[in-house]
Structure 1
Amino acid sequence: MAPTKATLAAAPCTPPDHFRELMSGFPTGVGVVTAFRADGRPMGMTCSSICSVSLEPPVLLVALRSASPTLAAVLDGSAFSLNLLHEGAREVAKLFASGDADRFDRVDWRRGSVGGGPHLADAAHAMADCRVTRHEAVGDHTVVYGEVVATVTAPGAARPLLYGQRRYASWPAA
């Protein structure tokens, strides 16, 4: 017999390690969310919680750890860039997941033409500059909605970097 709505509502939440194991079986693309602090210092973090929301207007969402300094910069500046990494950027993904304070000293980056955050042009196959339209705290993360105001796609046919089963991988060749 299937559980009822009342039974599910009363059930305890799944432990975080069980949820992490579940989600590791769902491979996804890898991006680095970047923003500038008020003092001009670049901030950024690896993110795989990325989703398109709407085509008209073009809106995407990213879910960032609520205690993240990158989230603070995104919300303070009301803007961010999403850098979608290509298959050759595994080390960049690891660097921006590490929290190292000098990560922007270790990669090539430049300002986008319309705002947002730093562009990691050597590591990304596509970039989107976004204006924050809303945000909502959900558990230990904050979901940030960004209206895409500009996009840049790198020339060539770079394959995206993927993450699943707790490892990075490349899109298979056709």
Structure 2
Amino acid sequence: MSHENPADFRALMASFPTGVTIVTTAGIDGVPRGMTLTSLCSVSLEPPVLLVCMRHGSPTLEAVEAGGQFAVNLLHRRARATAELFASGAQDRFDRVPWRMTGQAAGPHLLDAAHTIADCRVTAHHVVGDHVVIMGQVTAVSRLVEEHQPLLYGLRRFETWPDTEDRLSYDFIS
């Protein structure tokens, strides 16, 4: 793979399935912002820190940097339409989905699409190529629904894990 061919890198990353999230925040003007992304990673358990990567120049990224906080909405298997909406760039996305931002929320909570939400305070950010890596210390975790089967993305399509009675449970964090 040469760095002159971004298609090779896209193919590499497409073969790595991952969970789907929507990062939300509010701009300094109070307008909600949000975008679909699959680049979420745990960094530290003590203190609880995660990272997200957002495209440089994104209005959501600009609002996160200005406000210093964001929410990570972990999507459940029935939230594909919401994931596609927030990936589309539609200006009216928050008019088309139920959401709430109350109390200490760091960004809008997507009530019908997320199974779990992490509210985060920005602790660092680093420009890497055409993206910005944002480190966020988790300040609160909210579980919204009993449906915990995540929405996944890989091979350029959305999927979920098949239902099975022989589920093994692992508690893994790097």
Aligned to 2:169: none
CA 1:12 to 1:167, structure 2 compared with 1: closer, same or farther past 3 Å?
closer
Matched, 1:30 2:20: yes
Within 1, Cα distance between the matches of 2:131 and 2:102?
26
Name structure 2 gaps, 5 residues minimum: 165-174
CA drift at 1:115: 3.0
Query: Does 155-164 or 66-75 show the bigger shift?
Result: 155-164
Matched, 1:144 2:121: no
Within 1, Cα distance between the matches of 2:26 and 2:147?
29
Name structure 1 gaps, 5 residues minimum: 1-10
Within 2, Cα distance between the matches of 1:120 and 1:155?
11
Check the 8 A contact 2:116/2:143 in 1, yes or no: yes
Q: Which amino acid aligns with 1:58?
A: P
Check the 8 A contact 1:79/1:115 in 2, yes or no: no
Query: Does 113-122 or 23-32 show the bigger shift?
Result: 113-122
Residue in structure 2 matching 1:46, options 36, 50, 67: 36
Within 2, Cα distance between the matches of 1:44 and 1:33?
5
Structure 1 stretches of 4+ moved >6 Å: none
What are the Cα deviations for residues 79-120 of structure 1, in whole angstroms up to 9, with x where unaligned?
A: 000000000000000000000000000000000431311000
Aligned to 2:121: 131
Within 1, Cα distance between the matches of 2:105 and 2:148?
25
Within 1, Cα distance between the matches of 2:45 and 2:104?
20
What is the 5 A alignment of 1:64-143?
64-143=54-133
Residue in structure 2 matching 1:170, options 127, 140, 160: 160
Question: How many residues are paired up?
Answer: 164
Within 2, Cα distance between the matches of 1:94 and 1:18?
24
Aligned to 1:6: none
Within 2, Cα distance between the matches of 1:125 and 1:14?
39
Query: Does 14-23 or 60-69 show the bigger shift?
Result: 14-23
CA drift at 1:12: 5.1
Please identify the structure whose Cα radius of gyration is greater: 1
Check the 8 A contact 1:35/1:42 in 2, yes or no: yes
Check the 8 A contact 1:95/1:103 in 2, yes or no: yes
Within 2, Cα distance between the matches of 1:133 and 1:122?
29
RMSD of aligned alpha carbons: 1.2
Check the 8 A contact 2:76/2:147 in 1, yes or no: no
Check the 8 A contact 1:159/1:171 in 2, yes or no: yes
Within 2, Cα distance between the matches of 1:111 and 1:157?
21
Residue in structure 1 matching 2:50, options 28, 44, 60: 60
CA 1:26 to 1:167, structure 2 compared with 1: closer, same or farther past 3 Å?
same
